[in-house]
């Protein structure tokens, strides 16, 4: 993959998938997109991977973002800001936990399990291993 391709993919993800509580599973531009995880079982099942936000996707996103943008102190601060949307949720459903999923559009309501292991673990892992520990991942290009 070229630098330009990596930058373009990241730009598309940021433009279409990124929400305050992190990444949608499908772009709102796709006709299969479902912004809310609600309704009867069939409706919820239809929305589960069709736009619903999964907080654990934040980890791979931050890693990709740093590879494209670098890991200077300023870039680490910028990457750390991607976690900010989850901090407000720590007091919502279950103290210190992160819910399994969120609606894909405001008000970004928490749904599914109120304390999901991978929703907690992956943002913590990326915070510790990638941001606070200043991992030695080489960027595609330092900006």
Residues 108, 14: Cα–Cα separation, whole Å: 17
141 occurs within a structural domain: no
142 occurs within a structural domain: no
Q: Which residue has the tokens 């990124």?
A: 18
Cβ atoms within 10 Å, residue 18:
16
143 occurs within a structural domain: no
Domain count across the chain: 1
Q: Which residues contact 48 (CB under 8 A, 6 or more apart)?
A: 37, 101
CA 92 and chain centroid, separation: 18
Q: What is the tens place of the pLDDT at every residue in 89-129?
A: 777 777 788 999 999 999 889 999 998 999 989 989 998 88
49 occurs within a structural domain: yes
Q: What is the tens place of the pLDDT at every residue in 4-25?
A: 999 999 999 999 999 988 899 9
Residues 108, 56: Cα–Cα separation, whole Å: 15
For residues 10 and 16, the answer to whether their CB atoms sit within 8 Å is no
106 occurs within a structural domain: yes
- Stated pTM of the model: 0.83
Which range of residues forms the domain containing residue 105? 3-132
CA 73 and chain centroid, separation: 21
For residues 32 and 24, the answer to whether their CB atoms sit within 8 Å is no
């Amino acid at each position: 993959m070229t630098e330009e391709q990596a930058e373009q993919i990241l730009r598309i993800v940021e433009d279409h998938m990124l929400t305050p509580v992190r990444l949608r599973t499908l772009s709102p531009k796709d006709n299969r997109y479902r912004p809310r995880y609600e309704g009867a079982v069939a409706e919820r099942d239809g929305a589960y991977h069709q736009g619903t936000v999964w907080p654990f996707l934040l980890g791979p996103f931050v890693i990709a973002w740093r590879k494209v943008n670098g890991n200077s102190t300023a870039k680490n601060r910028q990457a750390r800001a991607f976690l900010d949307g989850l901090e407000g949720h720590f007091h919502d459903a279950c103290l210190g936990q992160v819910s399994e999923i969120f609606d894909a559009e405001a008000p970004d309501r928490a749904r599914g399990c109120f304390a999901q292991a991978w929703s907690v673990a992956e943002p913590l892992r990326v915070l510790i291993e990638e941001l606070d520990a200043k991992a030695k991942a080489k960027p595609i290009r330092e900006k």
